[in-house]
Amino acid sequence: MRKIFLTISFLSAAMLSYAQQDPQFSHYFFNHLYLNPGAAGSENVTRFQGIYRMQYVGYTGTFDDGGAPVSQVFSANVPLKQIRSGVGVYFMNDRIGVSTNQDLQLSYAYHLPVGGSQLAIGVRGGLYTRGIDYSRLRARDDNDPVLATGNVRQSQLDLGAGVYLYNPSFTLGVSMAHINEPKFGLGSQNGQNPLKRAAYLTGSMLVGLSYTLDLTPMFVVKSDLSTISAEAGAIATYDNRFYFGGSYRWDDAATAMIGANLLNNSLRLGYAFDLVITGAAAKSATSHEIMASYTIQPFRAGKKSIIRTPRYRY
């Protein structure tokens, strides 16, 4: 498995640029449910999590407030061990200049034992909402009939699916979002703005360096089926309480991360800092991201809950 992981990581680093459609989060290692519905219930705990991202802070464009992306994702997932399943929900909110994007998704995953691992097959569905505030646009022709007026919002059905293979030592997932490619007119009778399909390949591996120090290499590859982007890095965890690490987003930015597991590992707090390496002339140099999550033990029904080894990264 180690050879497979290293091979995929090498291929990921060789990928080219990816036109950002969905919000990207530097805490992708902790954000599995957002990337793959198969991850619902995979941690064997009930987790509530929120991530807040301020991208390209200080960017000044043609909009009065700068137009830099600001994104949030809030998620919760619960294991249902009695029926080998997991359920989850997330809400994503993203604002870029005059446009807004919101996605509310409900996920279900069925978990099957495969050797010493678990294979989860997940599906999700929900509503994707796009909006544009035309009153903030500066039209060259004020009477242009193509442009709508006011704040226009439109919602469409959005579907996704994924497969997630995991055990205490590694994870490997493949998923696709926006399978049905919902289209948005946004106030225009003839205009069609499709939400392109987005494919994700994720992976991680737990390597024990000593009794108190673990290293977790990780990667994510994203594609809209015409362009590709890749991120790869590693996180070191000390005493299962404190972690620090870094990641590199191909042809974009380097990321530094730090965080801690508190209250007997029930509360996790994290911070990520991005520094733009490529294309700095068209972007502000830095992005910031904060994460907070809280876990509770799964509900008991007959048998006692499984107790994970302290080396288990979750």
User: What is the total count of domains within the chain?
Assistant: 1
CA–CA gap between residue 86 and residue 307 (Å, rounded): 18
In a domain, 313, yes or no: no
How far is it, in rounded angstroms, from Cα 260 to Cα 290? 12
Q: What is the pLDDT of residues 43-85, one digit of tens each?
A: 999 999 999 999 888 766 655 556 788 999 999 999 999 999 9
Is residue 307 a part of any domain in this protein? no
Q: Is residue 224 part of a domain?
A: yes
For residue 239, is it within any domain? yes
**Does residue 264 surpass a pLDDT of 80?**
yes
**Looking at the domain assignment, is residue 132 inside a domain?**
yes
Task: Name the pLDDT band for 7 (thresholds 50, 70, 90).
Answer: very low
Mean pLDDT to the nearest integer, 112-130: 96
State residue 22 phi and psi, 5-degree precision: -85, 155
312 pLDDT band (50/70/90 cuts)? very low
Residue 1: predicted pLDDT: 46
Name the more confident of 308 and 24: 24
With respect to residue 126, please indicate whether it lies within any of the assigned structural domains. Answer: yes
Complete DSSP assignment for 150-188: SEEEEEEEEEEEEEEEEETTEEEEEEEE-TT--EE-TT-
Q: What is the pLDDT of residue 192?
A: 77
* 98 has a pLDDT exceeding 70: yes
List Cβ<8 Å contacts ≥24 apart for 232-235: 232/9, 232/12, 232/13, 235/29
Residues 6 or more apart in contact with residue 235 via CB below 8 angstroms: 29, 215, 216, 218, 243, 244, 245, 257
- Write the CATH number for 231: 2.40.160.60
Instruction: Report if residue 302 sits inside a domain.
Output: no
Asked if residue 308 is part of any domain, the answer here is no
Domain that holds residue 10: 2-296
pLDDT at residue 285 in the model: 78
Mean pLDDT across the stretch 273-295? 86
pLDDT at 11 > cutoff 60? no
